[in-house]
Structure 1
Amino acid sequence: MPPISTTQATAAPLVEPALPSSPWGMFFRGFLKNPGMVGSIVPSSNKLIRRMLAPVDWANTKLFVEYGPGVGTFSRAILDRLPADGVYLAIDTCPDFIRYLRQTIRDDRMRVVHGSAADVERIVAEHGFEKADYVLSGLPFSTLPPGVGDAIADATQAVIRPGGAFLVYQFAPKVHALLAPRWANIDHAVEWWNMPPANLYWANQPAA
């Protein structure tokens, strides 16, 4: 038998690096690694979260989808409001955020998926649903690669049930140009108690 080299004898399985323990540290790390996919250097304020989620008809919500949940800034608020038989589907492209959410939030109603928002129809179907009641997004549409925003908007319009809505918060108002050709009924507000102030949009899907 050939001798075992020092490298072979001491090799150990690869271990994923530890994640920051605090949401702020994790959020800042995500911003540094991919600033184009994280809309702000700080998480959203509680006032923004409450105002953004206020129009949701929670009693009739079976599937709530979020694009780019990050460190779960909205996740706990969503789970606090979601019915016991509801499902919260969180989709993110960042593996670190996916790991962090799975480690820090333990709730059977929450399903965390590593994937693209543009594939939301397939992801929703894979989780046993035909449509979503609501979709929430804080993705920075103004900094996404060309065509990606349109693909996400088209897929989102197709996946939301009649009477549901696409909830969008942005720090630049340019997203209205993306929403307007697809949704005729759009409510808009500005949340000043946030850093930076955020534009809030509720693109309402026509009722059946």
Structure 2
Amino acid sequence: MSFGFFKALIQAPTTVGAIWPSSPWLAKAMVSTSAIQSAHSVVELGPGTGAFTGHILESLAPGARFTAIEKSPDLARSVSRKFPQARIIEGCATDLQNHLDSENIPRPSAILSGLPWAVFDQTLQCSILDQIHGALIEGGIFTTFAYYGPHRLRSGRRFRANLERIFSDVQRTPVVMQNFPPAFIYFCRR
């Protein structure tokens, strides 16, 4: 576990929402289900320490634009240093459309998220999901993950219901057992 992750976890546990950084197995599964290989513009929400960022950058199509939005100033600086070729914006996912507009970033065809959905209340979940849906091009893919187990709690069931209400198609992968805790991936089409 990196010092930056641990520091962010202690300072803002409901913003980080994880007890451990995502594994390379979860990162590879996220990227392989996200359709970023053919995307012209890709956005990552909540890159944290960059567990997914490197895999995303390796998989981008030639000429594709990549932007990440991170709320924690410390984590945003850390991931910027780790991936200097990436555009990292310090900001909140609730302002996704404003960030894209102010940076003149085209509407993405893929958005990936490591945000801690289970710790968000209904209002925050819906606010961010509405921003994501509004930002994606028609037919664009939103990819995120949930921990196996907590997905059965009320907040996890509410999140799934919100996905199904907002997106035209919601699919779920098998559980990635090599992650701690085990997780699965939702991929949702606008």
In 2, Cα distance between the equivalents of 1:142 and 1:32?
18
Residue 121 (structure 2) pairs with residue 170 (structure 1):
no
CA drift of 1:58 comes to 3.5
Q: 1:67 aligns with which of 26, 42, 45?
A: 45
Partner in structure 1 of residue 92 of structure 2: 116
Unaligned runs of 5+ in 2: none
Structure 2 counterpart of 1:160, one-letter code: L
Q: Secondary structure at the match of 2:139?
A: strand
Alignment check: 8 A CA contact 1:134 1:164 kept: yes
CA drift of 1:28 comes to 1.3
Q: 2:20 aligns with which of 42, 67, 88?
A: 42
CA drift of 1:111 comes to 0.8
Alignment check: 8 A CA contact 1:39 1:170 kept: no
Unaligned runs of 5+ in 1: 1-22
Structure 1 counterpart of 2:184, one-letter code: N
Structure 2 counterpart of 1:126, one-letter code: S
Partner in structure 2 of residue 6 of structure 1: none
Alignment check: 8 A CA contact 1:119 1:155 kept: yes
Q: 1:76 aligns with which of 35, 51, 54?
A: 54
Residue 133 (structure 2) pairs with residue 149 (structure 1):
no
Alignment check: 8 A CA contact 2:112 2:144 kept: yes
Q: Secondary structure at the match of 1:132?
A: coil
Partner in structure 2 of residue 101 of structure 1: 79
In 2, Cα distance between the equivalents of 1:82 and 1:155?
23
CA drift of 1:145 comes to 4.5
CA drift of 1:196 comes to 0.3
TM-score under structure 2 length normalisation: 0.88
Residue 176 (structure 2) pairs with residue 191 (structure 1):
yes
Q: Secondary structure at the match of 1:73?
A: coil
Alignment check: 8 A CA contact 1:170 1:200 kept: yes
CA drift of 1:167 comes to 0.4
Partner in structure 2 of residue 9 of structure 1: none
In 2, Cα distance between the equivalents of 1:185 and 1:34?
33
Cα 1:197/1:73, change in 2 over 3 Å: same
Partner in structure 2 of residue 179 of structure 1: 163
Partner in structure 2 of residue 137 of structure 1: 113
CA drift of 1:168 comes to 0.9
Alignment check: 8 A CA contact 1:135 1:156 kept: yes
Provide runs of 4+ in structure 1 moved above 4 Å. Answer: none
CA drift of 1:144 comes to 2.1
Q: Give percent identity, aligned residues only.
A: 27
